[in-house]
Structure 1
Amino acid sequence: MNKIIILLINILFLTSVIKSDVCPIDSSWRPTPASINPPITSPPLPTTQAASDIVYGANDLYYMAFYYVTTPNNLQDVVSDNDSEFTVNFPAYSPNYFYIVSKQSAPSLKANVTYQFSFDFKLGQPSSPIGKIENMTLSIYQPGDTDYILWSYRAPTYAKTFTGDFTSNTDFKTTSITFSVPFDIGLSIFILQVNRSIATGSEITNVFYRNMKITVLSKPIVTPPNLVVKDSELVYLPKPSATLDPQDATTCPYLATDLVHWHNPSTWPSSLVPSPSDIITLPAGKRVLISPCSISQTQIYQKIIIPPTSELVFADSNFTMNIKDIYVQGKFIMGTTKCRYNANINIIFHGSKSFENTIAPFFGSKGIAVAAGGFISVHGKQYHSSWTKLAATVWSGDRVIYVQDNVNWEVGQEVLIATSIFKDEEDNQNEVMTIKSISGRVIEFTKPIKFYHYGGSEYQVEVALLSRRIVFQGDEVSSQQDSFGGHILISGEGQFAGVQLKRMGQKNVKARYPLHYHLAGVVNNSYISDCVVTKSYYRCYTIHGTNNVTLTRNVAFDAFGHCYYLEDGVEQNNILSYNFGAFVHTIGEPASGGSQTGETFYQNENLTQPADSASGCFYITNSWNTIIGNSASGGWAGFSFPNLEKPIGNHRDINMEPQAWNTKVFEGNTAHSSGYQWISGSSIYVGGKLTFDEEAGILVYNTGRFSRETCKDGIFSWDSMTYEWMRFNNTKIFLSNFGLQHWGSRVEVVNLESYDNNRPATLFGDAWLSNAIVDGQTGNILSKSNLYKRQGFQLYDTYVTTILSHITFRNFIENPTSIYPDDDNVVIIALTFSDIYKPQFISSLVNITLQNVPTSQIIGHKIVNDSGSSRFFNLIDWDGSLIGNPGVPTIVGSHEKWWKYSDALCHFQPDWTVWVCDKGSKSVGNIEIYMPNLIVRGQQYEYGSYVGSVSLFGEGISEIRKTNISKNAGITGILNMGWYLYLTGGSPTYLELWVAQVPFGHYIFMAIPYPAGTVFNIYTENRWAWENAFGFNATLGTSAAQVRAGNGTIYYFDQSNLFIKIVNPARFGDPSESFNRAGVKVDYVYWEYFYHIHASNPNVQPNADGFYPSFAYNLPSSTL
């Protein structure tokens, strides 16, 4: 009797919850596997492009009149059968013209192509002479100009005045005009100016519009003649193999003979098939096959637990499962590496926002958690390539695009075309399209493209597939309402391929990310391949406390928080290859700040990871990973390398300094449309600092300037033999602020293409940029604006060593609106703002090529007389290739005559406001002089704190060639020359002179005036050397000439000037004494060799500050 009851219960359950009429329980039965073929055969590609309309309604427009901007009552929607109908209402005594302005960008317009503008119009009251409409003008403006046209004249980029029937108040009358612009316009705002005969009177009036639109007319579809076949000119951007992953259908897991059916009552210990309301635990030791007819596809299942000895195997058939939680201790199998499923399988996670651990302790709710020792394998059909790039530029109204790679995408799938604009978050021009037809590298969409997308020879934006057959997603209602989607957490081994994750991630809930390796340690066979994350509330792909994971060929679009995320700083030996991320949003207001110090953010309930204030596509807390062939569009930065002095989170007690690890491999990566939200922002950012405040128990993140020391095996040492340079190979950056910003101590950027960036890179420490193309303006019409200042490279102002080699600079054209070089488009720009920070010899260039660069734009040096960084600006062009003197090593120095060491070998370049001199045997060096009560080491003083000057003398120099010196220490100038130090307040009884940068074989012939009868005690100190190695006591010589010809150990006083030859005997010319790359060098500063000079005079009393009375300026002999 009991068996009959149980059988009846099962029958009732199966008939109520199972969609299929028949669900056999025979152990050999399997549902028919899904086909690999597209569900819809693609129709032929069209030969003609249909006309397309961009329609403007009340929500797309606003009203302006003289000194008057719209209020909600001026331009209103009208309830009618036509959604585009709106009314413009005029207050009494309105002016004789008004504007209707588009809120959003007008379509991109091709030069000399005919477009149509049309609308229906009628008056709201009978026509009268007062306020009669005479004509209208269609104008195209730069977007920013529309904010000012009421207050000052802004010329439109195009305008056309026209007439029409504007007298009817009963029937709409259609006005249609054609127009064509004389040059390409990528980004604009249209304004319709309505012109009356006179102003309106005392009555309130109105007019009606409908069907206002710009039409892109029909045209034949012709294959562009110059399709891009090579995505880069110089750098190599690797791609994954073009072949699909090998498959073997005989290995498919649903074919195993030891499977038992979910829907078979005998599978379950109770002999009852579980109901959706149960907490379902698979029977121990069994491999359970779940088929479409096994479950209800509409009811929500509460929870499934897979014990350690059990497996849940899915059939390769179309179905939907609605569920709250799945806990995997055993195996969860939905396809394998060798057997990708072709079915449309939809797993929907349900549950409102909760912090309860309903899956398992520490694993949260609304998703899948795989315990340590567990295994999950989800493999859907492979679509390849998962992303590609345009092969030709796309214009508004186009429906067909050409891409660079053959793709096996399908009709009905969604495709992303990435933005071609700089400020991605401020003007979202990423477009999601649906495929109508497809053949190889040509794709037609169901609707016209709205924006311009660049696919020129210099760079091409990405095109990514957003659809997959297997979809894991958060339920639509609760997920969107609370930004609380589903999540997948793996603490064991996990393999995912061909999966779409939609509405996943739980905003500001740690460890609740769309796809997340969580504290899995060293894994052996875990990967995420050709998956896609869309509409994520918190991150995309996370590696946390896990090593040896591979993320490859994945796509992510529209996510909050860092997207590809290495969490704690201990994650190493992972591979991130051929992935694409786009449209990543910060959590809260984006980090900004007006200086290099950035902003500081603190962990709180609305920002649980404060670094998400600077969210980017790739977030790399430990550089010892392989990062190859990836691309990042948008985000605060494309690739972020924050500084962590120690790991965070679960690994705070690990003895490691993440920031000390070098880049294992960073090769062939691309970033664009980022870096604009902060003055020092960039698309690849090595900077910022993330710490854990032990006292407060929270994370703290500062976005600003923090350096890092990269060393062998991540172990910091003062031993230079352990130093390693962060290396960025084959990198491409476009539409960025500073391209690659690196605050660290050592960096090499080799093989770089930089296009339409404000700067290609900002590099600190020992920095080498080599083999690069830096293009100030490409053919991308969206990047052409006089608002931008493009600079090839800014040379820093102090204590760095920079070498630029084998670089081609292109298209740096004068900006006629610029006042200073800082605002102009120039190749080399000097940093000239400070008197505290002054340049030593820190910049070397070699093998520079200039293309389409006027002479005036080669060097930009702003004269700031009170700034030491301006007065001492310098560089060495080792082969004359920058300044246009091929084969002649050249010294470039600032505007001061101090740099003119030779009449024959030096000339002033007025375009650059610098002196240009043949280098010959000369070089550039630096000293710092300290004097009690005048120039005190470590003190900083305001502009203009002058204390004297330093002048060139000897070698035939008779005119005054000097520069001012201030209380801020530091003098940089031509070596192997006479330097006359003149202090307006008199010479000191004691000074110490730091020989900061006088390399082997070079010297400074120093002269200092003193009163007759002065006696000197001069000795040197090698401050940090054992037993003062190479120190000596100087002796009195017999002539100034003897001093200059000597080895620095003698001095001479001619009763007017003290002469001493400044050398550094601790320098031997060893390569380690300079930063050497590409056959040229920058000499290192030496820490620290000092000359100490004590002066006493029995006849002249110094003042209370220790200075003798001042003397008249008297330049030493020109014959010395």
Structure 2
Amino acid sequence: ARSILLEDGGALHVGSENCPYRSKAIISLYGKATEGASVEGYGKKFLGVGRGGILELHGRKPRSWTLLAKTLYPGGLRHGRYVSEKRWSSRGLNVCIVDAGTAQVMAADRFDTHLFVDEGRRLKEFLVHQAPGSVVAMAVGDSAAKSLTLETRLFLRSLLHSKSILHLQHRQPWALIGILGDDASSTVEDAEPSQGNRTSRLVMAAKDFKTYEGSSFRITAYSGWIKGVPHHGFKVEMSEGIILDLVDEVTSWLPGEEIVIASTDYSMHQAEAFRLLPCSECQSNQVKIDGNPLYLHMGEIVDGVDMRAEVGILTRNILIQGEMEDSCYGPNHCQFFSFDTFGGQIKKNFTSVHMAGVELKHMGQQILGSYSVHFHLTGDVDERGGYSPPSYLDNLAIHHCFSRCVAIHGANGLLVKDTIGYDTLGHCFFLEDGTEQRNTFHHNLGLLTKAGTILPTDRNEAMCLALRENVHGDYIPVPGTDCMAVSSFWIANPNNNLIENAAAGAQDVGIWYIFHRVPTGQSEGQYPTGQSELTPLGTFYNNRAHSNFKAGLFLGKGVKTSKASAENPREYLTVDNARFRPHQDADPRKPRAPAVIDGLIAFKNNDHGAWARGGDIVFRNCGFADNGIGLTLASDGTFPIDEGCSLEVTHSIFVGESNNVGSQGGRNSYWGRGAGGEYRTLPRNKSFPIRGFQIYDGPVRLTKCTFRKFTPTADRYASAIGFFMKNAWQISPQNNVSLVKIEKSVGLRVFLGQPGQWFGDNNSDGDKVAIFHDLDGSVTGFPDTFVGRLDNYLIRHPGCLIVTRWNGMICAGKYAQLYIQARRPENLTLSIARAAYHSHPLRLQGVHKGVSYQQYQPVVMLEQAYIVQWDGRAPEDVILYPINFNRGDWLHVALCYPKGTVFTVVGDLYQRRTGRARGVTRYAAASSYLRVVNERNERLFYFDDASGYLFVHLQAHEARKGHSYCSQHGCERLKITAQMPSGLPWSCTLNPFLEKDVGKQPPWRIQERAVHCTQCGAPWVQYQILLCSQILTFSFIAQVDDEVFLFHDRGILFLVLDACSGLILSRQHFDTDSFTEVAALATSYVETSVQESLAMLGYKGKPKPSWIKILNQAADQKPASLQYYVPLMLREYRCSRAVSQADLHVTKWTHYLRSCYGMSPVTAITF
């Protein structure tokens, strides 16, 4: 049909909720953008549901998506597909050695047995040194017979059971595959009678094998002459059809259907689609795919973070599709798209709509309001709106569509569940006007979300610069700030629920909470100004975000809610500033309502794992890995707008460079060496400074978190904790860290930057005053200390410890902030120095340009004297705020002015929310500066006309609570108005304070070291096995938390670990050297000691966890080393109690096994 419209009692039913449709149903919408008339309110090429219309589509509901349970490697094999083909320059016997258990090519060589007799002896030595059980693939290149001696031929016949080698002739094609140490039945070979340089075919030997992990693969060797040219080669590749192991049962996925596997790397373009093949040998959680993957798709929990790739089914038995032209045409933005983007659309303003088990393909148009699925101004669609059952979208597959996935516009209470959005244009799951509330997104998957043209926030750089019809005048948009925000989940009101969704690849952001200061579009006027920024966050639980460029999760910013004008020429709905500050009932007079981000997994995002700015926001039970920056928490550049608020991350893990090394290609731009020397994909570029937790503004808290694998390289810095770069704004000394665990794999705990790429000159105001409080010493080793920048003499004292690698220092002391506002003029550089270090001033540029006042916000040590000067004539108005001062905290301040200046000095309490001041007190002029510094309870000032300094005593008289920068009564401040004579100089001496008045040198010297912290870090159970060389004479040691197991006898050590609790249940050593019945003893032990399932490097029991590992090494090779984080309490273990995702822990397994002090190789099996 060109269109279908249901209204006034019209209904379309396919199946029902209780009786889903089982056959195939297809609705095809056809038509071109340039043909026919539009229907008012709907447009063209649509399935519309008007008032009084009913749409009920209920198809078969397969499991929508799950996760890989075992890693899928490029080509399907852990070590990749191997192909070697040669023509000339390969004369002789060509040999390839393959490990039958891993499909890894272990060695390859050529032996010219045509010309050289010694090559036969070298061939024998080569084969003798290969491990028993290795696969030997051999093929003749050109000719191999002339100097191949009878002795060598007999050796090969005996070793590999060849039937043809004795009679191999000049230029005779021959290929063989055999197994060292096996019988003749394991050998396959093929030969063709010699015909000189002509053969009728390539001879080929091929044999199938299965890896330790259960993957079937084929080894092929071939040889022959084609058109007078010799050919030979080897292939190691998956057998036809790769079997995927999945976390969940997928018997509802059928042969011929299409699946998509998400990227687990930085580029979303590594998502890959495959057709399913019949698979009689598959288990209920397995499927077989047609084709070979190009990229690495993780199926493991890596370094404690769940990086298992999402796998979704794209086929449904009810299909709604748009019929498309072969290429772009007409007014369809063909400068950006080579393909037709005028698809079908479903638009709903209805009596009842329920869709389940439906596939949508080639839907959506690059036209405002013409989306794949569009709920348009429907109001409440749940019980509040009188709908029973409430409207829902369940188990939809929306793919290869041209405008969004699901657009919710002026609709509330909609359930969107088990829905996939793959390869679409513009924001995928999209809330439009900012009024949409109480909608629930549960277990949806968005991936490969690309830019579109409709809104500024949909657009990429080229679109942003080209589409300027709606800007004012000649304004040229700035793509990085006005546009470039396309997201898989665009949440325009915080009062919505996101539960167990996956944002698995968007051009910009995975999940973006964006704020509309006022409702926009057709919803204008529906709530008061600023309400959405005050609205509490709905449920955010166990969502995943990876393979996005800007951020996995972005919580902050807004859209411009005014039309383009001369005052603000940017387009309507471009990205703008906003501050999220949730309060109960969206009322700022009521208590704050902390926004909780629970269980976020963010990995392989180029820039940020997550960014959050606003009021009370708490991240807990989160995992951040392989992001450019793991997490940034930011409040505001001066004061937090929401007084007393703070941001926190707790019970979370940060990983710098995980064992997921990624894959080249798929638009990954950067490939280089990691900290361990391995090649891997990299975020941003090779020199980008990786940070786990980034501090910005404040106050922010980091507690009960674990950091691992942040190690700098020659090309880049990598630190567990860092600071926002090129920061012109404040950094609060209330920023604090406690109970963190920084593992030995972290090479740089803290880094405060240095001049160079990415850091610029590292000379902005915020760069200079960077600071945080280490409450318990879990970062520095010294409790109740502060970390600040090395060259900041406002906080430095003789007791500080210098840490050059950090460009920082560790200082004990009392610190706060001095907030300075300056007017008339507003363009001066401030110089502030502590009197004790008056020759080391800190110069601050301020943050504002071209506004009514300038501001500066240095961090200061309390109970000290400070000197303030300017690089020009002093401002006429200066306001000093003692912020983050507790009652009784004080400073002496001397400010430089021209001689003859007359002052008015007034103190008051300023209430920022109302803009009112109270308690106004006029300061009196003192007779000497000694009265000012000694009579601290008096409100006095003194101007020394000889030196040019105005002396004031700045003290907090009100109590401050919690994280508030000021007291609950308001911010105490001192307002200085100066009437300066013209024409007089303003330079002052360096230090006007006498030695006894500069403030006592603080007595703090760092001596006490933090004790070992058993409660630090996220709740991960560690399991560690160390190298024998590290523990003297012991060849093996295992440590689980604080319990150590020593093992130095030959044999097998069993450790039984409960996969539900992480506890060691049992241990037993079996001496394989002395007892011949060890197998029976071990079997009996396993059967009696383990009541349920048993995990080795393999696994006993029905499920097959993704963490099964096996590694073999010869005695003379490097130690066999396996390291893995084994998840505890997974659902498939069927633990006795119900376990929430928040309880998920992992156990770290590290194995180092080797022969020590002449002993035979040790075998270790761990459970």
How do 1:514-913 residues align onto structure 2 when only pairs under 5 Å count?
514-523=372-381, 524=387, 525-587=390-452, 614-635=485-506, 636-657=508-529, 659-660=532-533, 661-676=535-550, 683-684=553-554, 686-691=556-561, 693=563, 700=571, 704=575, 706-712=577-583, 719-721=588-590, 723-736=592-605, 737-744=607-614, 747-765=617-635, 766-782=646-662, 784-785=681-682, 786-796=686-696, 800-818=698-716, 824-831=717-724, 833=726, 837-841=729-733, 843-854=735-746, 856-862=748-754, 867-885=764-782, 888-896=783-791, 898-899=793-794, 901-903=796-798, 905-913=799-807
> Quick check: 2:712–2:747 contact (8 Å CA) kept in 1?
no
Range that drifts further, 724-733 or 1038-1047: 1038-1047
> 1:1048·1:1060 contact (CA, 8 Å) conserved in 2?
no
2:975 maps to 1:1104: no
Amino acid at match of 2:880: W
> Where does residue 184 of structure 2 map in the other structure?
none
| Counterparts in 2 of 1:746 and 1:1048: CA distance versus 1, 3 Å | farther
Aligned match for 1:332, one of 12, 18, 22:
12
Q: Summarize the Cα distance change of 1:669–1:1040 in structure 2 as closer, same or farther, 3 Å threshold.
A: same
1:473 corresponds to: 321
What is the CA distance between 1:346 and its match in structure 2? 2.2
Query: How far is the alpha carbon of 1:550 from its aligned partner?
Result: 0.7
> What residue in structure 1 maps to residue 890 of structure 2?
1003
Partner of 2:850: none
- The code of the aligned residue for 2:315 comes to S
Task: Compute the displacement of 1:397 (Å).
Answer: 2.1
1:1068 alignment partner, one of 947, 955, 959: 959
**In the alignment, residue 1002 of structure 1 is paired with which amino acid?**
D
Structure 1 residues 733 and 381: alpha-carbon distance in aligned structure 2, compared to 1, 3 A threshold: same
| Pairwise CA distance, 1:545 | 2.0
Cα distance change, pair 538–1062 in 1 and its aligned pair in 2 (3 A): same
| RMSD (CA atoms) | 4.1
Deviations 1:932-957 (A, max 9, x none): 6xxx3xx245xxx4x6541243xxx8
The counterpart of 1:382, out of the listed 36, 47, 61, is 61
1:640 maps to amino acid = W
State the partner residue of 1:499: 358
Q: Describe the SS at the equivalent of 1:826.
A: strand
Distance in 2 (alpha carbons) for counterparts of 1:1022 and 1:423? 53
Contact 2:347–2:371 (8 Å) recurs in 1: yes
1:435 partner letter: L
- Alpha-carbon deviation of 1:859? 2.4
In structure 2, what is the equivalent of residue 373 of structure 1? Answer: 52
Q: Note closer, same or farther for the CA distance 1:1085–1:809 as it changes in structure 2 (3 Å cut).
A: farther
Which of 274, 277, 280 does residue 432 from structure 1 map onto?
274
* Residue of structure 1 in register with 2:311 after alignment: 463
Code of the aligned partner of 1:497: A
| Secondary structure of 2:781's aligned partner | coil
- Cα deviation, 1:449-508, whole Å, max 9, x if unaligned, reads 232111221211101111112222223557986322222222211111111111222x22
Residue by residue, what CA displacement relative to the aligned partner does 1:217-261 show, whole Å, maximum 9, x if unpaired?
A: xxxxxxxxxxxxxxxxxxxxxxxxxxxxxxxxxxxxxxxxxxxxx
Query: CA, structure 1 residues 363+1004, in 2 after alignment: closer, same or farther (shift >3 Å)?
Result: same
For residues 1086 and 422 of structure 1, do their structure 2 counterparts lie closer, same or farther at Cα, with a shift above 3 Å needed?
farther
Tell me, what secondary structure is at the counterpart of 1:1031? strand
SS at match of 1:739: strand
Contact 1:555–1:581 (8 Å) recurs in 2: yes
**Separation of aligned partners in 2, 1:811 and 1:304:** 57
Q: d(CA) in 1 for partners of 2:896 and 2:24?
A: 90
The Cα of 1:585 is off from its aligned counterpart by: 1.1
Letter in 1 for 2:357: G
Aligned counterpart, 1:978: 864
Query: 2: distance between equivalents of 1:876 and 1:382?
Result: 53
Whether 2:834 is the aligned partner of 1:951: answer yes
Counterpart of 2:346? 488
Q: Which one-letter code corresponds to 2:785 in the other structure?
A: T
| Distance in 2 between residues matched to 1:586 and 1:780, nearest whole Å | 28
Q: Give the whole-Å Cα distance in 2 for the aligned partners of 1:692 and 1:989.
A: 35
AA of the residue aligned to 1:631: A
Q: TM-score, normalised by structure 1?
A: 0.60
CA spacing shift, 1:629–1:987, aligned 2, 3 Å: same
Conserved 8 A contact 1:989-1:1108: no
Distance verdict in 2 for CA 1:456–1:790, change over 3 Å: farther
Asked whether the equivalents of residues 393 and 455 of structure 1 are also in contact (C-alpha less than 8 Å), the reply is: yes
Amino acid at match of 1:469: N
Give the aligned partner of residue 98 of structure 1. none
CA shift, 1:510, in A, is 3.2
Per-residue deviation, 1:792: 1.6
CA distance in 1, matches of 2:460, 2:380: 42
The alignment's TM-score, normalised by the length of structure 2, stands at 0.58
What residue number does 1:454 align with?
A: 298
User: Following TM superposition, by how much is the alpha carbon of 1:338 offset from its aligned partner in structure 2, in angstroms?
Assistant: 1.4
What's the CA shift for 1:630? 0.7
Q: CA deviation at 1:536?
A: 0.8
1:575 aligned partner, one-letter code: T
Q: Distance in 2 between matches of 1:576 and 1:985?
A: 56
Sort the Cα spacing of 1:876 and 1:666 in 2 relative to 1 into closer, same or farther, 3 A: same
CA, structure 1 residues 899+913, in 2 after alignment: closer, same or farther (shift >3 Å)? farther
Q: Provide the secondary structure at the position in 1 that maps to 2:346.
A: strand
1:1025-1051 deviations in whole A, cap 9, x for unaligned?
Answer: 867316353464888498357335356
In structure 2, the residue matched to 1:400 is 243
Q: Secondary structure of the equivalent of 2:767?
A: helix
Q: How far apart are the structure 1 equivalents of 2:23 and 2:565?
A: 53
Distance across 2 between alignment mates of 1:594 and 1:508: 14
Could you report, residue by residue, the CA deviation over 1:135-185 in whole angstroms, capped at 9, with x for unpaired residues?
Answer: xxxxxxxxxxxxxxxxxxxxxxxxxxxxxxxxxxxxxxxxxxxxxxxxxxx
Q: Say whether the 8 Å CA contact 1:952–1:961 is kept in structure 2.
A: no
Mapping for residues 182-197 of structure 1, pairs under 5 Å:
none
Gaps of 5+ in 2: 77-241, 329-338, 382-386, 472-476, 636-645, 663-679, 756-760, 847-853, 1000-1167
2:510 is the counterpart of 1:510: no
The offset of 1:356, in angstroms, is: 5.0
Give the unaligned 5+ runs of structure 1: 1-300, 309-328, 819-823, 1076-1082, 1096-1101
Superposition deviation, residue 810 in structure 1? 1.6
Change (3 A) 1:306 1:977: closer
Pairs aligned (count): 745
| Alpha-carbon distance change, 363 to 930 in structure 1, aligned in 2, over 3 angstroms | closer
CA distance change for structure 1 residues 996 and 509 in 2, over 3 Å: closer, same or farther?
same
Between the two proteins, what is the percent identity of the paired residues? 21
Following the alignment from structure 1 to structure 2, what is the Cα–Cα distance between the partners of residues 897 and 447?
60
Q: Matches of 2:575 and 2:288 in 1, distance apart?
A: 45
- Map Cα deviations across residues 1048-1069 of structure 1 (whole Å, 9 max, x no partner): 535678987765431133x313
